[in-house]
Amino acid sequence: MSDRRRHLPSVAVVVLTMGNRPTRLQAAVQSAIAQRGVDLELIVVANGVAAEDIAIGDDRVSVIASTTNLGIPGGRNYGLEQTTAPVVAFLDDDARFLDDTVLVRASELFSRRPALAAVALHIVDECGATARRHIPRVGTRRPGRSGAVTAFLGGAVVMRRSAFIEAGGYGAAYVYSMEETDLALRLIDRNWQIYYNASPAVFHPVTSPGRHPDAVARTMRNRVWLAHRMLPAPVAILYVVDWLAISIVRNRRDAPVLVRALRNGWRTRPGPRRPIGWRTVARLTRLGRPPVV
C-alpha cells in the first residue's frame, strides 16, 4: 500500500445482487470504484446465485456468493462480515453514487461526530426528484434539509462498523421491509445518532414498493414483528393499530390482506423481545418520529 493510501480513510462498499440487473450493477460498481479520497474495499454479494454468474471483470471487486438467498438484511449482514473497514456503505444494485466524493464526505462526518452511527444519503430519481418514502422523516416533503433523523434507507446509507455490530446488525428474519427501522431503533436506544445529508448523493430509478407481489402483506406482518421486538407494550399496540388504519385508508381493498397479515405476524413473531426504553421513546418524539407512526 502506498503512503498516500495508508493515510486515506478506509471505507467498504457492499452491493447486494441476485444478478438480474447486470447493466445497473455495473453502474453501481463503477460509481463506487470512482470514489476519490478513500481507501476502498468493494464487495458484491451474489445472493442466492453463484459467484461466476456475476460478471464484474475488475480485480478491485470481490464477489462473494451465498448459494442460499439470505434476503436483503441477511445478505447485507453477510457482506459486512467480509469487510474490515471502520465505515461501510450499502448501495442497491440498481443505484449509483452521483459523484466521486460521496464516501469521503461521509467519512468526514464520522470523524467529526463520534456518536454518529449512520449517514442517510439523499436519493434522487430520473427527474431529480426524491420519492416521499426516501425521505427519512415524518410529515415533510423537504428532502433538501440536512439534520438528525430516526431512519435511513438500507440501499443508500453509510454506517459506522462498530455501531452496526454493537446493535446486532440487521434482523435477517424480516427478509425485506422494516429491517432498517428495526436497526435504527436499536441504534438510537444505544445513544447512537443518525444523520441525513441532504446533498444529492445517490441515483435510484423510480420504483414502486408494490412491485413485490406480497409487499402489502409482508410489510404489515413485519410491522407486527417490529412492534413485538422493539416497542414497549402500550406503544406497540398503538403502532400496530395506527398502521393498520393508515394502510386501510390508503387502499381499502387491501383490508382483508392486512388483517390476515397482522394475525400471521402475531402468530409467528420472532424474538428476542428487547423493547426500547421510555427515554428512547421521548428522544424519537423530539426528533419528530414518535414510535406510533
Residue 224: what pLDDT?
98
Do 15 and 148 reside in the same domain of the chain? yes
- Convert the pLDDT of each residue in 101-156 to its tens digit: 999 999 999 999 999 999 999 999 999 999 999 999 987 678 999 999 999 999 99
Q: How confident is the model at residue 7 (pLDDT cuts 50, 70, 90)?
A: confident
Q: How confident is the model at residue 2 (pLDDT cuts 50, 70, 90)?
A: low
Domain limit, last residue, from 174, 207, 240: 207
* E strands, 125-217, in order: 147-149, 156-160, 193-203
Q: How far apart are the first and last CA of the chain?
A: 49
User: What's the domain count of the chain?
Assistant: 2
Do 11 and 79 reside in the same domain of the chain? yes
The answer to the question of residue 220 being in a domain is yes
Residue 188: what pLDDT?
98
User: Cα separation of 229 and 232, whole Å?
Assistant: 9
Do 154 and 231 reside in the same domain of the chain? no
Domain limit, last residue, from 187, 207, 227: 207
- Convert the pLDDT of each residue in 161-218 to its tens digit: 999 999 999 999 999 999 999 999 999 999 999 999 999 999 999 987 666 669 999 9
Do 17 and 122 reside in the same domain of the chain? yes
Q: Would strands 10-17 and 39-47 be described as parallel, antiparallel, or unpaired?
A: parallel
Return mean pLDDT, the chain. Answer: 95
Do 143 and 174 reside in the same domain of the chain? yes
Cα atoms in the Cβ-side hemisphere of radius 13 Å centred on 270:
11
The answer to the question of residue 293 being in a domain is no
User: Cα separation of 148 and 110, whole Å?
Assistant: 14
Do 155 and 250 reside in the same domain of the chain? no
The answer to the question of residue 291 being in a domain is no
The answer to the question of residue 231 being in a domain is yes
The answer to the question of residue 251 being in a domain is yes
- For 67, the 3-state DSSP assignment is coil
CATH number of the domain to which 153 belongs:
3.90.550.10
Do 197 and 226 reside in the same domain of the chain? no
Domain limit, last residue, from 178, 207, 236: 207
- Convert the pLDDT of each residue in 231-243 to its tens digit: 999 999 999 999 9
Range(s) of the domain holding residue 157:
3-207
- Convert the pLDDT of each residue in 77-106 to its tens digit: 999 999 999 999 999 999 999 999 999 999
Residue 139: what pLDDT?
72
User: Cα separation of 266 and 228, whole Å?
Assistant: 8
Do 30 and 121 reside in the same domain of the chain? yes
Do 177 and 214 reside in the same domain of the chain? no
Interacting residues of 59 by C-beta distance below 8 A, sequence separation 6+: none
User: Cα separation of 55 and 49, whole Å?
Assistant: 12
Residue 138: what pLDDT?
85
Do 133 and 220 reside in the same domain of the chain? no
Do 75 and 103 reside in the same domain of the chain? yes
User: Cα separation of 195 and 173, whole Å?
Assistant: 26
- Convert the pLDDT of each residue in 236-280 to its tens digit: 999 999 999 999 999 999 999 999 999 999 999 998 999 999 999
